[in-house]
Structure 1
Amino acid sequence: MRRIDKEIKDPELIQKILKQAKVCRIALCIDGKPYIVPMNFGYHDKILYLHSATEGRKIDILRKNSNICFEVDIKTQLVTSGNPCKWGMRYLSVIGSGKAHFIDNIEGKMEALDIIMAKYSSKSENSFKYSRDALSSVLIIKVEIENITGKKSGY
């Protein structure tokens, strides 16, 4: 990281950002062409779980290239000034990378969906019920995180 003064080194703060963030942006690449997409996600034990349809552009790309980069941010706020060149943003962010794998067994999908659902609701894991049809129509992308870093600006 170029700006060491903005680097977040505290693993607990990095995990807090991952837990609080509402959207995870994933970056993929195929044939030298980048593709980025915002996703719903869950995080647990150094693994990201991404909720997806069973087909589409990102799935086609991941079947050919499982390398993935991701970004989340929280507490974003515009900082203004009388001088337009002094405008900026306050934020806390996390960027990481890893390998993506598809979870297609029912038990694995239920565990991952519990993590995702607990993130977006007030319920705890293991308190959700899923129909077989719903589980069949969803694909879970599991990202085993290999590298991760945090960055802060204005905090």
Structure 2
Amino acid sequence: MRREAREIKDRKEIDAILGAARLMRIALTDGNVPFLVPVFYAYDGQALYFHSAPQGSKVEIMKRNDLVCFEVSIDHGIIEDEMICDFEARHRTVIGLGRTRFVGDRAEKIRALDLIVARFTNRAFEYPVANLDRTLVVRIDIDSVKGKQHGTGGG
């Protein structure tokens, strides 16, 4: 990392950022064409989960190439300065690499959906079988992560 003082090295802090954000951007590649998409997600301390329709561009790309880059960011803002060229972004960000897996096990699928729903409400829901059958859940098995922060007290 170019600015070493901004690097987040503590895995607990990286996990806290992954647990706090709601929106994740995933970057996929189809041959030499990049594809970026935002998704709502959940983190269980080991893997990231998001849901999708069972067909579409991102699903077709993941079938051909399971390697993914992901990004989440929190604590957004601007740090103003007297000089416009010295304005900076306030943030805590995690970027990582992983591999996507389509979740087939119904119990894991429900657990993942429960984790995602819990990010938005404390209500519990039952999932009709027909809805479960037409909902794709994707798990990202994390290979590596990096954290960076600026203007939040740490870097």
TM-score by structure 2 length?
0.93
How far is 1:98 from its partner?
A: 0.7
Cα distance in structure 1, aligned partners of 2:101 and 2:22: 22
CA distance in 2 between counterparts of 1:51 and 1:72 reads 16
**Which of structure 1's runs of 4+ aligned residues deviate more than 4 A?**
none
Is 1:139 the equivalent of 2:136?
Answer: yes
1:128 aligned onto 2:125: yes
Partner of 1:111: 111
Q: Say which is worse superposed, 90-99 or 100-109, in terms of deviation.
A: 100-109
CA contact (8 A) 1:19 1:119 kept: no
Alpha-carbon displacement from aligned partner over 1:22-76 (angstroms, at most 9, x marks no partner): 2000000011111100001000132000111111000010000000010000000
For residue 126 of structure 2, give the secondary structure of its aligned residue in structure 1: coil
TM-score of the two chains, using structure 1 as the length reference? 0.93
Cα drift, residue 11 of structure 1: 1.3
Q: Structure 2 CA distance, aligned partners of 1:121 and 1:15?
A: 21
Aligned-CA RMSD value? 1.2
Secondary structure in 2 aligned to 1:120? coil
Say which SS state the counterpart of residue 143 (structure 1) adopts. Answer: strand
Q: Distance in 2 between the 1:9 and 1:146 partners?
A: 16
Counterparts of residues 32-51 of structure 1 (less than 5 Å) = 32-51=32-51
State the alpha-carbon separation in 2 of the partners of residues 92 and 129 from structure 1: 34
2:149 maps to: 152
User: Residues 92-150 of structure 1, C-alpha deviation per residue, up to 9 Å, x if partnerless?
Assistant: 01011111010133222111111111222225xxx431100110121011000010111
Supply the distance in 1 between the matched residues of 2:47 and 2:106 (Cα, whole angstroms): 18
Aligned to 2:83: 83
| Bigger mean CA deviation after superposition, 82-91 or 67-76 | 82-91
